[in-house]
């Protein structure tokens, strides 16, 4: 996929490597499929070039979509989810990804709860995530990622963050200048809790 996109632009491997700011040896291994889980920085740099396009929309794949392709959630040839249970999820949700993993490995809800308890993730947090809350805390993603690793499915933090999404944006407390102008449109004291 990457080689075809690069060659369609008439770019040499050296030019492409310079464009993404990674060593030529790395990009060569990536093109040959020798890197299963590429670093987020590399995926993001490739996405910024806009040369790999979705067959569904003919728009460039985003960095998140490319990471989902690397995680084998999206099929690069069709632009569709490999697991049909995720097909209704646009964009893919962490919940659908988690459910799909549970189904693939025969993990029951109780087993999942035991796994996250061992990683000190509160069961209430798991239930909130399963109800659709985006896991915004790093420890939540690490805990669930640890559960995946128990079944020999390992993902880098950045890959799971890409699947989970950015989470809600929290406004910071107003500056003293904003307070003086009567602008008090903020949430709490700027903390995310």
pLDDT, tens digit (0-9, with 9 covering 90-100), for 98-122: 888 888 889 988 999 999 999 999 9
What is this structure's pTM?
Answer: 0.50
Tokens of 143: 């805990």
Q: Of all residues in the chain, what percent carry a pLDDT higher than 70?
A: 80
Decide which of 91 and 192 is more confident.
Answer: 91
Rounded-to-integer distance, Cα 163 and Cα 108, Å: 22
In degrees and rounded to multiples of 5, residue 109 shows phi and psi of -60, -45
Per-residue pLDDT tens digits for 12-46: 999 999 988 999 999 999 888 888 778 878 888 88
């Amino acid at each position: 996929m990457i080689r075809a996109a690069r060659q369609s632009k008439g770019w040499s491997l050296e030019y492409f490597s310079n464009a993404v700011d990674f060593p030529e040896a790395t990009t060569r291994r990536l093109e040959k499929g020798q890197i299963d889980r590429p670093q987020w920085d590399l995926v993001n740099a490739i996405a910024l070039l806009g040369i790999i396009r979705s067959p569904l929309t003919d728009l460039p794949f985003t960095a998140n979509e490319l990471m989902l392709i690397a995680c084998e959630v999206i099929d690069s040839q069709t632009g569709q989810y490999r697991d049909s249970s995720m097909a209704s999820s646009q964009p893919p949700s962490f919940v659908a990804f988690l459910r799909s993993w549970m189904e693939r490995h025969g993990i029951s809800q109780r087993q999942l709860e035991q796994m996250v308890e061992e990683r000190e993730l509160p069961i209430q947090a798991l239930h909130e995530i399963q109800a659709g809350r985006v896991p915004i805390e790093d420890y939540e993603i690490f805990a669930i990622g640890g559960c995946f690793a128990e079944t020999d499915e390992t993902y880098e933090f950045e890959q799971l963050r890409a699947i989970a999404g950015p989470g809600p944006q929290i406004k910071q407390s107003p500056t003293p200048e904003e307070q003086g102008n009567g602008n008090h449109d903020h949430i709490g004291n700027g903390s995310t809790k």
